[in-house]
Structure 1
């Protein structure tokens, strides 16, 4: 009986913590639309309806809160990728095309964040993280069969990811993250992927 009482006492605390964390994440996302990288604990607390002390109880500082928030989005993208690819298999034959469309769909769903990122060339860290998360799933003929593909942090792969981010950023800026206008972007990404594969074999 005592164990049940302890569990009951602990549950509201956990729920309260989770509610506060969700409120903070929502507030950060809203503030990042206008003040990406320049928001304060006071702004987050006010937007979330929480005290500044609650903010610091969750995160040591606002920069870490932003990083944590980005990690949540990358995890959301990664964990939902398989399901999204299954849905896209009905409409898109190319496996790499499905991955690229999955990126654009995810960005469209979170356009309040990604439209701002695409418009700010100095703050595209989250976009890089999304593309880096998708990279291992791409089918790229980098080397003859049996030889290992280059590591994700190699110079060639970094150059490929940088180029891909540039293509996606321009799509986001030009279309306001509208996946319905993503065909040209996906075709450019497929071309960049093919060029990367060819250059790796030379």
Structure 2
């Protein structure tokens, strides 16, 4: 394959990804502003794209939301273990590394996550991110001898809700700035300890 063909493919892929993120970001902004149905025309105007570009990417707006969330979650999930390993130099606490990995991923995609964090009615993606990370957390659930509650149980849902609230406050207050995440990490670690001790 020639250099020009490779260069065009890379440019095409980066343009496609840029448009995807612009579409999703526009949808998030519009979801905060409109309670009703969002149209392709509104998304195109907000994203600075044509309606045809929107339809080239997705058959409809609802599918655009679903597709973009799936792609982000897949990207987060596939890189999570590697990111946690890299963070072993930052902290020896396994749970701390997991929470930092979440923040780093969100900071890298702040154009998507900052609008999510600022819109209290649009927290679904944050819940999905925390649900992906949950099985990796080290939580010594009580009482001793019983298995850890699985995702979907009332206890875990309460913990996820608390964690999402802390992450949302971090994203909103700091514009997804990892360097300003220390006290939020401490809050997440306390929430994890409270969950383990059945104090939530």
TM-score for both structures, normalised by structure 1? 0.79
Q: Which residue in 1 is equivalent to 2:95? A: 96
Evaluate the alpha carbon distance shift between residue 121 and residue 150 of structure 1 in structure 2; reply closer, same or farther with a 3 A threshold: same
Evaluate the alpha carbon distance shift between residue 57 and residue 166 of structure 1 in structure 2; reply closer, same or farther with a 3 A threshold: same
Q: Does 1:139 align with 2:138?
A: yes
| Pairwise CA RMSD | 2.7
Unaligned runs of at least 5 residues, structure 1 = 1-13
Q: Which residue in 1 is equivalent to 2:17? A: 22
Deviations 1:113-152 (A, max 9, x none): 2111111111111111111111011011114666422111
Evaluate the alpha carbon distance shift between residue 71 and residue 144 of structure 1 in structure 2; reply closer, same or farther with a 3 A threshold: same
Unaligned runs of at least 5 residues, structure 2 = 1-8
Point out the structure with max Rg over C-alpha: 1
Q: How many residues align?
A: 185
Moved segments of 4+, more than 6 Å? 17-20
Is contact 2:142-2:197 (8 Å) kept?
A: no
Deviation at 1:112, TM superposition (A): 1.6
Evaluate the alpha carbon distance shift between residue 198 and residue 180 of structure 1 in structure 2; reply closer, same or farther with a 3 A threshold: same
Deviations 1:149-187 (A, max 9, x none): 211111110010000001111111111111001110011
Mapped partners of 2:75, 2:23: distance in 1: 17
Deviation at 1:42, TM superposition (A): 2.3
Is contact 1:32-1:113 (8 Å) kept?
A: no
Deviation at 1:18, TM superposition (A): 6.7
